[in-house]
Structure 1
Amino acid sequence: MLYPKTLEQKLGFDKLRAWLHEACISPLGQYYVERIKFSDKFSMVEKLVSQTAEMKDILERGENFPSQNYLDATPHLRQASIAGMQLSQEAFSDLKASLNTINLCLKFFNNQEPETFPLLRDYASSISVDRHVTDAIERIFDDRGQVKDSASTELGRIRRRLLSEQAGIRKRLDSILRNAKQQGWIGEEVSLTVRNGRMVIPLVAEHKRKLKGFIHDESSTGQTVFIEPTEIFETNNEIRELEYEERREVNRILLELTDQIRPYVPDLLKAYHFLGLLDFLRAKARLAQELSAINPTFVNKQVVEWQQARHPILFMSFKGSGKPVIPLDITLDENNRILIVSGPNAGGKSVALKTVGLIQYMFQCGLLVPLREDSTMGFFQNIFIDIGDEQSLENDLSTYSSHLTNMRHFLAMANKRTIFLIDEFGTGTEPGLGGAIAEAILEDLTKSGAYGMINTHYTNLKVLADKTSGLINGAMRFDGENLEPIYQLEIGRPGSSFAFEIATKIGLPKGVIAKAKEKLGTQQVSFEKLLKELDIERKVFAEKNTSLGIKERKLTQQLAEYKSLKSKLELNEKKLVNEAKAKAKMLLSDANQLIENTIREIKENKAEKEQTKAIRAKIEQFNQSQLKPEKIVEPAPVEETYEPEPGAIGTGDYVRIAGQTAIGQVLALRGKDIEIRIGDLKSTVKLNRLEKVSKKTYKAATGEKEVKASSKGIDLNERMMNFSFNLDIRGKRGEESLGVVDQFMDNAIMLGYDELRVVHGKGDGILRTLIRNHLRGYNQVKGMRDEHPDRGGAGVTIVSLK
């Protein structure tokens, strides 16, 4: 149930309906637009939205889907269904073009995989256009919608005779025309023309007696007459008779063709309803693209879990001017069913309210909605709204009376499957009484189990929401320091009206504001003051949390780097120890072998004293050469010497960045900013950070020859500005695409991007496989995956870099 009857106009859905009506190609689609209505059946909503999502997917994939000749031929078919009726040549021309579009649509869906576009493919499978119909029309009509000469033997004969007679009469008329020009009866630029279906010669009126014939017409000035010469009169009569014969034969052919297609009219009407639905779905899909809308998770229960919800009409309005729409995050569930929104006037409360109503209404009308993908849409059978001034002169109702009339309906009809929206709850009467009535109504609405959103300035409703189960406060954020609205909804706390602050900013006398505070009472002033202070404190703490978050991320990164470095050092230490142990074991083995050989030699030879000394000297030599530790000499630190160069820094000079060893050459001066080249890189540095050095120092530090100031390096700033993380290679050949991808990857790795997007299309998957196999050869590639189905699916590869 919808309430009131003007709900569409109040929410602005009538503007979306008008947009869809304009986006349809033919009356077939517009017929469906005019019949869009809110559905309270879950399965129907699910089907309508899914069909729209499938069509949006078709358009975004760039599939070769028909987009022309969505012609409405249903009036012609209804006429053809009557026995004895004959369709005109124009009617058959429309039928031929539109039936071709229907067949192309059916062919498109028949060529898809079973799991692709299941709803539309299933609908298409129930539609058929008998080949007898299309073949019969193709046999009779050409591509321009004209009846072919071959449509019948008699028609071919008549048209051949007609062409022959027309050629003969033109030849004779050309001869008469040349003679009239030679006689000076007509000008050189005059040519043959047709009057009353007969070929005639334009003749100057004063010479009309000089040419025998019949005058068929004259010019508006009377200076020219159009004469049919006597000698071609009979031939013209024959041509007219042939034209009558041709018309009779064409009518006979069209009547016969109409009789042929009559038995197929019911199936054809069904096919045209299918064509109209596709036109309608194309319009809905185009609207979804315009709004960046999606098909969120849809559940058969009462819930609102929306992220980044945007008001559709406001979004389209701002899109042209480039202004952003502040998105809305809102959650209503079993524990917090009714949201009480407060805040200053012009802070966005009414827009937020209409956003909720319009998006829920759109979805249950079968449209995609502008939300983030992690949002969840619930299902409601009733939508009640109380928005705007419903004052009625006819019924003698004041604004407040109309509000109470609406509340009476809400209280009588609201249930657990209802969502209601109330703007400026309780206004229109004495504040104390209005607040009390509003509180009582709100308590009853809470007991009904309904879901809703209420905008108010009443403090008692804010207090009630804070202590009542099922109610929750919300505030439209407001910059308390600068007194400017932020247009963001914050759930969980009430908002302040900032009435005194705004009055102060506008310039209302301080004495008046002070008196107002006295009259209001300390309790209310303190409450408003507390809300303001909380809003300011929240902003400060939010900034501090952001700063702490950045620091925490840096600390986490440094800790990870430290752990990685520590792990590498420990690993290197173990490797060195193991290598030392292995070397020591080898040396010990060699020493033992030497000693054993020496002992054996002494025993075998019973060596004398001199021989023993020689053997001992040999052992000592081994000890000195193999076991003595090597002395480690640490190189003395090399001090960089720079020869300063006197004078001001100019283009082509060599400079050093203060505190660094990098030396470069000046490319350009821009006031206090200097563009320098260091190696292959260009950078901009402040003048006060540079020291001028000699040419000798530059050559010693870089080992390069002098480079002219006009030399070009790699400008990272320019490359970063021109780089896009999205690469579209559709339509390119294999080798060409690999070259483009290599250049794309080089730039991305240099600029430090961590995720890239390569659009290659689906097709047969050949280009996708080629690109992915090529990317696997990059060490910097961490992984690859398909894009989300709503943004291209398997036609797009997301590349994650290390």
Structure 2
Amino acid sequence: MLYPENLEDKIGFDKIRNLLRERCLSGPGRTFVDKMRFSDDAGQVDKLVSQTEEFRQILASEEPFPASHYLDTSTILDKSRAEGAYLDTEEFYDLKRSLETILRIHEFFRRFPESYPLLHDLSGMVTLDKSLLKKIEEKIDEKGQLRNNASRELQNIRQRMQQEQVRARRLLDSMMRSARGEGYTPEDATLTVRGGRLVIPVLAEHKRRIKGFIHDESATGQTVYLEPAEVLEINNDIRDLEYQERREIIRILRALTDEVRPNIQPLKRAYHFLGMIDFIRAKAILAGDLEATRPESVKHTHVEWYGARHPLLFLAHQAAGKPVVPLHITLNKQQRIILISGPNAGGKSVTLKTVGLVQYMWQCGMLVPVDGHSKMGTFKSLFIDIGDEQSIENDLSTYSSHLTNMRKFLTLADKRSLFLIDEFGTGTEPQFGGAIAEAILEEMNQLKAYGVITTHYSNLKKYGEDHPGIVNAAMQFDLDDLEPLYELEIGKPGSSYALEIARKIGLPGPVLKKARTLVGIEQVRYDRLLNRLEEEKRKYNKLTKGAEKEKERLESSAREYESLREFLDEERKKIIQEAKADAKRLLKETNQRIENTIREIREQGAEKLKTRELRKELEEYGEEIAPEEAPRPKPKPKEEVQVIDGPINPGDYVRLKGQEVTGEVLALAGKDAEIRIGGLKSKVKLKRLEKISKRTFKKSTDRSSSPSKGLDLTEKRAHFKSDLDLRGKRGEEAMGELERFMDTALILGEREVRIVHGKGDGILKDLVRNQLRQQRHVQSVRDEHPERGGAGVTIVEMKD
């Protein structure tokens, strides 16, 4: 149950739908976005969210996932239903490419059934007979044309046609040379085509000199286009062969359509699967943009969010380079209703909309921008009262519209409902508005509904302090600078800071004094008490955070010290044991050597010369076993960069002055130099560069090279679209975008891309195609199908 009907617009979910549509690749995917609905089935919500999480993991991995040819073939399949109908080659080409995509996706999930179990289960709806694709591929080539060998008859016809065309060309070339020699043709005239037949341009005054059929004449009438009688029969034969070719093509296409017709239902399911994958992929991409996660799912009504962020505010602040203050909020059986108070423009309404939008996204099966250890529950109903619903047609004032909403809430809400009310009770006399609001709050509390309410009324704050199930909360405020902090603090009411803000703005003292008198001393004291409590709590929190950090630092140091002490004790014991073992071995060897020496001295009869030699050997052995002093490490000299004097030219290696960045000079343009730094090109002022040796450049490149640094294939793959629109762009700008687009397509392994340049005078088209033909990784370029843009769109086929 959702109330009101425009709830999605109220909380901003209509903009979330638009963001999803932008990330879809196909019409069926966008249809799924439009059909997405709020669900109160916790199991279904968990399944949808888990599917999106699995696809987010695919994008996070670097496994290549098919991201092209997500085509809508519904009209093609409907056309093929009728007996005797046939699809044209372009339609079969679309069918072929999209079926390849479906089967590649199906194969992907077949390879990873354990990693992506839910998406693998979805792929079970694809029950296509692969022989159908094989039959289409046998007839339709990679360029969308019918193959010459699609049938033996077609092959014979096209071979004969080619032979006749060659014969006609040779004969016409001979006649053209003869006519040119006689002066019958205009200067620089060449063979041309009129009405599908090769003709010779002939000057009008000489048209009777050559026998034949005149097909056309120039705008001035000075030139006629004549088909000589000698080639008339040959061209007639060619035309007859063209008719035969057309009949054979239709026969082949009709037979191939007959193969499609029995498979329409499996094809429908397969394309339903493709649209669903496109939709889930779009949700996963948006989740990445929002830094959304899959928190823990609980099946009952529960809100326990940490680090929640309003999705639209997050994207806007991210684009502006500003942070978003996260929201921490809990709604459970003991704390079902939160009353948020505080100054205007302090973030109360944003908090309210964050709760509504994030919960709605979750129950639509989307990942949500909260910390991963949060918990998301499921509500049966969602009610919201935000903004001005004044209606002239229905004779409703603002306050009347609010009361109408409250009547709906009281009638429909239960313990599985979540309601959100902004500026509760406003729109009428405060004394009565506050009383009615308090009565409604009491009833909602008795219904055990869950809710978030923003208010300025003191009676509601006091009511929240005295009744279980309701808790006060405040948007924090900097009392020193009188500026909002946009942080929600649950547990105490907040002040509106009306008098303080009025004083900062500069209202006269007598006016403020009179206002305090009118408010009443008790209310002023209550407000001051709230201010003092907030200030003292902020100081206490600051001290507590400092103490906690110091405690954590001391505990960390203690753990490091204890770990180091244990390590040193173990090492000391190990070294002592090893030293004892070595000493025992040395002592044994030394005693053995001494005994041998004494024995030899005795056996030699104490000859002085021999005794000296034996003593010398003993001394040398003593030096061998003596401990060596560890050599002191020599300081490694700092490598100096060799700078070369002289002018900088293309091909030189340079370094940015005062930095470690090096590159190669590609070209000079005045005072600027175009240099290549790694895989990037950049323009830099010459005065910022200094020439270095090739050896220095190579060392710098070796130190800084890293195969994956700076290249996020996941981000590129997630945001890459196979269409590039250059319409309305200047030549230099368009060529730059085209180069970057083709580089990305090459890195991602795209097989085919589309360049939209429009028709116009054909200048941009020529620039695009000339640049494409110069690229080695481009296999071919051609016009798009006339129904999809024709010469205004270039199809680029990449080499394998």
TM-score for both structures, normalised by structure 1:
0.70
Instruction: Report the residue type matching 2:96 in the other structure.
Output: K
* Structure 2 CA distance for partners of 1:167 and 1:416, relative to 1, 3 Å: same
CA distance in 2, matches of 1:307, 1:275: 35
* Structure 2 CA distance for partners of 1:273 and 1:707, relative to 1, 3 Å: closer
1:428 counterpart residue number: 427
Q: Which of the pair has more CA radius of gyration?
A: 1
Note the C-alpha offset of 1:560: 5.4
Q: What are the ranges of 5 or more consecutive residues in structure 1 without an aligned counterpart? A: 579-700, 713-717, 720-741, 745-758, 762-802
> Could you give the per-residue CA deviations for residues 135-171 of structure 1, whole angstroms, max 9, x where no partner exists?
2212211111211121111111111111111111111
Q: Does residue 467 of structure 1 match 2:484?
A: no
2:307 counterpart residue number: 308
Note the C-alpha offset of 1:526: 1.3
Q: Secondary structure at the match of 2:101?
A: helix
CA distance in 1, matches of 2:264, 2:571: 85
Q: What are the ranges of 5 or more consecutive residues in structure 2 without an aligned counterpart? A: 578-631, 644-658, 661-701, 705-711, 715-800
Q: Secondary structure at the match of 1:486?
A: strand
Q: Does residue 295 of structure 1 match 2:294?
A: yes
Note the C-alpha offset of 1:321: 1.7
Q: Does residue 83 of structure 1 match 2:80?
A: no
Instruction: Report the residue type matching 2:351 in the other structure.
Output: A
Within-5 A mapping of 1:736-775: none
2:396 counterpart residue number: 397
Note the C-alpha offset of 1:451: 0.5
CA distance in 1, matches of 2:134, 2:108: 20
* Structure 2 CA distance for partners of 1:560 and 1:22, relative to 1, 3 Å: closer
Kindly tell me the number of residue pairs found equivalent between the two proteins.
Answer: 603
Instruction: Report the residue type matching 1:67 in the other structure.
Output: A
> Could you give the per-residue CA deviations for residues 453-503 of structure 1, whole angstroms, max 9, x where no partner exists?
011111111111111111011111111110111111111111111111111
1:426–1:437 Cα contact (<8 Å) kept: yes
1:730 counterpart residue number: none
Q: Secondary structure at the match of 1:201?
A: strand
1:531 counterpart residue number: 530
Q: Secondary structure at the match of 1:54?
A: helix
Q: Secondary structure at the match of 2:484?
A: strand
Note the C-alpha offset of 1:111: 1.2
2:168 counterpart residue number: 169
Within-5 A mapping of 1:695-734: none
1:25 counterpart residue number: 25
Note the C-alpha offset of 1:219: 4.1
> Could you give the per-residue CA deviations for residues 63-113 of structure 1, whole angstroms, max 9, x where no partner exists?
12111111111221222222222222221111111111111111111111x
* Structure 2 CA distance for partners of 1:532 and 1:262, relative to 1, 3 Å: same
CA distance in 2, matches of 1:105, 1:572: 56
1:485 counterpart residue number: 484
1:481–1:536 Cα contact (<8 Å) kept: no
* Structure 2 CA distance for partners of 1:525 and 1:760, relative to 1, 3 Å: same
* Structure 2 CA distance for partners of 1:554 and 1:89, relative to 1, 3 Å: closer
2:297–2:377 Cα contact (<8 Å) kept: yes
Instruction: Report the residue type matching 1:461 in the other structure.
Output: L
CA distance in 1, matches of 2:568, 2:284: 59
Within-5 A mapping of 1:279-294: 279-294=278-293
CA distance in 2, matches of 1:284, 1:577: 63
CA distance in 2, matches of 1:538, 1:461: 22
> Could you give the per-residue CA deviations for residues 757-781 of structure 1, whole angstroms, max 9, x where no partner exists?
xx999xxxxxxxxxxxxxxxxxxxx
1:92 counterpart residue number: 92
* Structure 2 CA distance for partners of 1:563 and 1:145, relative to 1, 3 Å: closer
CA distance in 1, matches of 2:293, 2:244: 61
* Structure 2 CA distance for partners of 1:420 and 1:168, relative to 1, 3 Å: same
CA distance in 2, matches of 1:162, 1:704: 83
2:543 counterpart residue number: 544
* Structure 2 CA distance for partners of 1:118 and 1:217, relative to 1, 3 Å: same
1:420–1:451 Cα contact (<8 Å) kept: yes
CA RMSD, aligned part only? Answer: 3.4
2:62–2:713 Cα contact (<8 Å) kept: no
CA distance in 2, matches of 1:574, 1:179: 109
2:595 counterpart residue number: none
* Structure 2 CA distance for partners of 1:108 and 1:557, relative to 1, 3 Å: closer
CA distance in 2, matches of 1:21, 1:391: 32
1:337 counterpart residue number: 336
> Could you give the per-residue CA deviations for residues 411-463 of structure 1, whole angstroms, max 9, x where no partner exists?
00000111011111111111111111111111101111110101111111111
CA distance in 2, matches of 1:337, 1:289: 31
2:416 counterpart residue number: 417
CA distance in 2, matches of 1:162, 1:324: 70
Within-5 A mapping of 1:326-405: 326-405=325-404
CA distance in 1, matches of 2:155, 2:637: 87
2:415–2:450 Cα contact (<8 Å) kept: yes
Q: Secondary structure at the match of 1:217?
A: strand
CA distance in 1, matches of 2:445, 2:93: 62
CA distance in 2, matches of 1:185, 1:404: 94
Q: Secondary structure at the match of 1:276?
A: helix
Q: Secondary structure at the match of 2:253?
A: helix
Instruction: Report the residue type matching 2:13 in the other structure.
Output: F
1:297–1:376 Cα contact (<8 Å) kept: yes
2:125–2:269 Cα contact (<8 Å) kept: no
TM-score for both structures, normalised by structure 2:
0.70
CA distance in 1, matches of 2:569, 2:259: 91
> Could you give the per-residue CA deviations for residues 34-83 of structure 1, whole angstroms, max 9, x where no partner exists?
11111122222111111111111111112121111111112212222222
2:26–2:278 Cα contact (<8 Å) kept: yes
Q: Does residue 68 of structure 1 match 2:68?
A: yes
Q: Does residue 44 of structure 1 match 2:32?
A: no
* Structure 2 CA distance for partners of 1:53 and 1:498, relative to 1, 3 Å: same
Instruction: Report the residue type matching 1:85 in the other structure.
Output: A
1:675 counterpart residue number: none
1:514 counterpart residue number: 513
2:101 counterpart residue number: 101
CA distance in 1, matches of 2:139, 2:281: 32
Note the C-alpha offset of 1:525: 1.1
CA distance in 2, matches of 1:238, 1:55: 59
2:32–2:279 Cα contact (<8 Å) kept: yes
CA distance in 1, matches of 2:277, 2:575: 73
Q: Secondary structure at the match of 2:481?
A: coil
2:116 counterpart residue number: 117
> Could you give the per-residue CA deviations for residues 383-412 of structure 1, whole angstroms, max 9, x where no partner exists?
100011111111011111111000000000
Note the C-alpha offset of 1:528: 1.5
> Could you give the per-residue CA deviations for residues 617-641 of structure 1, whole angstroms, max 9, x where no partner exists?
xxxxxxxxxxxxxxxxxxxxxxxxx
> Could you give the per-residue CA deviations for residues 682-710 of structure 1, whole angstroms, max 9, x where no partner exists?
xxxxxxxxxxxxxxxxxxx9998999999
Note the C-alpha offset of 1:30: 1.3
Q: Secondary structure at the match of 1:508?
A: coil
Note the C-alpha offset of 1:199: 1.7
2:186–2:201 Cα contact (<8 Å) kept: no
Identity of aligned residues (%): 51
> Could you give the per-residue CA deviations for residues 8-34 of structure 1, whole angstroms, max 9, x where no partner exists?
111111111112112111112112111
Q: Secondary structure at the match of 1:331?
A: strand
Q: Does residue 4 of structure 1 match 2:7?
A: no
Q: Does residue 278 of structure 1 match 2:280?
A: no
2:287–2:293 Cα contact (<8 Å) kept: yes
CA distance in 2, matches of 1:111, 1:399: 59
Note the C-alpha offset of 1:509: 1.6
2:125–2:270 Cα contact (<8 Å) kept: no
CA distance in 2, matches of 1:136, 1:574: 77
2:447 counterpart residue number: 448
Note the C-alpha offset of 1:176: 2.7
Within-5 A mapping of 1:653-672: none
CA distance in 1, matches of 2:28, 2:71: 7
Q: Secondary structure at the match of 2:115?
A: coil
* Structure 2 CA distance for partners of 1:520 and 1:145, relative to 1, 3 Å: same
CA distance in 1, matches of 2:48, 2:359: 14
> Could you give the per-residue CA deviations for residues 588-645 of structure 1, whole angstroms, max 9, x where no partner exists?
xxxxxxxxxxxxxxxxxxxxxxxxxxxxxxxxxxxxxxxxxxxxxxxxxxxxxxxxxx
Instruction: Report the residue type matching 2:318 in the other structure.
Output: K
1:302–1:379 Cα contact (<8 Å) kept: yes
